[in-house]
Structure 1
C-alpha cells in the first residue's frame, strides 16, 4: 500500500485492506491552520472568473522577494497580501494573486487567489499563475521575504510546516516527493538559496507531523 493511500485513509480514520476498512495509525490527519481569508484582508476582486481544478500533486515553495521586514504583525501580513496582489494584477497582468496561499514573516497564513481556501477544503485546487507551465497540477505557497542569503524566520518556517502538513493530509501527498521549490520547475532563484537548502528539513518536519 502506498504512503499516498495511507495519507488519504488517515484523513478519514481508516484505509481499505482487502476491501475491509481498517483503522490506521500510520499517518495522522494534520488539522487546518488558521488561514485569514481574502475578505479579512480586503482583497480586490479578480479580473476574471477563477477556475477550480482537481487536486494538485506537488506543493511549490516560493519566496516573494520583498524586503525582509521586522514588522511581524497581522497588519503587516495584510499589507504583504495587498502588495503581492497589486504586483501580480497591475504589473504582471494576471487576473489575481498568482499563488493560492501566502505566509507572512510573522507566521500568518493568508488566502491568496480567489476561491483557494474553499477549494482546498473540498479537496480541489484553483488554477494559479505561480509556477510557469506547471500550474495545472501544483499549489503554491508564497513566503514573505527574500532568502538568498538571509535565513527564514522561525514563525514563518513553523507555519510552513503546519500548512504543508495540512495540504498533504487534504490531498494524500507524501511530503518527501510532493514539496518542491519553484526553481525545481523554472529558471529562477526562488525560493532563495537559504530557503531552498532547508527544504529537506521542511519535508522531514512535515513527515514527522504526519507519521511521527
Structure 2
C-alpha cells in the first residue's frame, strides 16, 4: 500500500496502513548498469511498460539494484489511489509513488517490482531488470526471493477489481515464479525483520501468492482484492499449466 504522504497532483484515498521496507543497509551511489543472476527459463515474458516509457526519475534512485534467488512467492499489494483514474494517467501516478517512496519514506527507489493498472497494463517497478530477481522493498521481512506486485487503486470493501487488472497480476505472477512452484500451494520463508508479523529468523508458512496483510499488520491489498487471491492462484496455475503443455507439444513435433 502506498505511504501516508501524497505527491502533488495525485488523487488518493486516505490511507491508514503503510508499506514499509527492510531498513536500508546504507546508501550506495547508483551504478550505470547492474549485473545480476540470469532469470530462469520458463514462461514467455508478458508485455511490460519499461521505466523509460513511464519516465521513472532515475535521479531519485539511491542504490544499485540488489538480487536474490528466483521468486518463491508473490506478495500482492494495492497503492491506495482512487479507482476512477484514466489509464492514460497511470504513468504519472506511478511517478508519484516513486517520488513518495524515496522523498517521503527515505527509500532507495519505488518499492514494488511491478505495478498493474485497472486496464491490465503491467509496469516495471523497481530498477534492475524485469527478467532478473530484483530484491524489492514491498513486504517488510520478506523481500528476499519474492516479487511484489501492486494493483494501482484501492480495493477495500465496496469496490470491485477489474478483470483486466486481475489478469495482469496473474500474467506477471505466472511468469516470475520459479519453475516447479505450485501457485496454489504454500512456501516457507524466513523473516529478516522483527517488524513484520514474524520475528527475525522465524520461519513463516505462507501462500505462494499472498497478500501483504499475511506477513505485516496492514489491510493491504484491501478486503476485495484479498478475497480474490484464491481466484488469482487458479489463474496463475492455469497459465503455467497451459504453457507447460505448449512446450511439451512443441518438443514432440517432428522437425522437417
Which of 62, 76, 80 lines up with 1:47 in the alignment?
Answer: 62
SS of structure 2 residue aligned to 1:158:
helix
- How far apart are the structure 2 equivalents of 1:30 and 1:118? 11
Which of 89, 112, 124 lines up with 2:102 in the alignment?
Answer: 89
8 Å Cα contact 1:56/1:171 also seen in 2: no
Aligned CA RMSD, in angstroms, stands at 1.7
- How far apart are the structure 2 equivalents of 1:56 and 1:198? 21
TM-score (norm 1): 0.78
8 Å Cα contact 1:100/1:116 also seen in 2: no
Q: What is the CA distance between 1:44 and its match in structure 2? A: 1.3
Q: Closer, same or farther in 2 for the Cα pair 1:31/1:95, shift >3 Å?
A: same
Q: What is the CA distance between 1:171 and its match in structure 2? A: 4.4
Q: Closer, same or farther in 2 for the Cα pair 1:192/1:118, shift >3 Å?
A: same
Gaps of 5+ in 1: 1-10, 13-28, 120-124
TM-score (norm 2): 0.66
Which of 38, 45, 56 lines up with 1:32 in the alignment?
Answer: 45
Aligned to 1:71: 86
| Structure having the larger proportion of residues in helix | 1
Greater relative contact order (CA < 8 Å, ≥ 6 in sequence): 1
Which of 101, 104, 122 lines up with 1:109 in the alignment?
Answer: 122
Q: What is the CA distance between 1:80 and its match in structure 2? A: 2.1
Q: What is the CA distance between 1:56 and its match in structure 2? A: 2.2
Q: What is the CA distance between 1:57 and its match in structure 2? A: 1.0
- How far apart are the structure 2 equivalents of 1:115 and 1:184? 26
Q: How many residues align?
A: 178
Q: Closer, same or farther in 2 for the Cα pair 1:193/1:160, shift >3 Å?
A: same
Question: Over residues 180-206 of structure 1, what are the superposed CA-to-partner deviations in whole Å (9 max), with x where a residue is unaligned?
Answer: 111111010000000000100000111
Q: Closer, same or farther in 2 for the Cα pair 1:172/1:40, shift >3 Å?
A: farther
Aligned to 1:176: 184
Question: Over residues 158-187 of structure 1, what are the superposed CA-to-partner deviations in whole Å (9 max), with x where a residue is unaligned?
Answer: 11121112123x544211131111111101
Rg larger for: 2
Gaps of 5+ in 2: 1-39, 186-207, 243-256
Stretches (4+) displaced over 6 A: none
Aligned to 2:170: 161
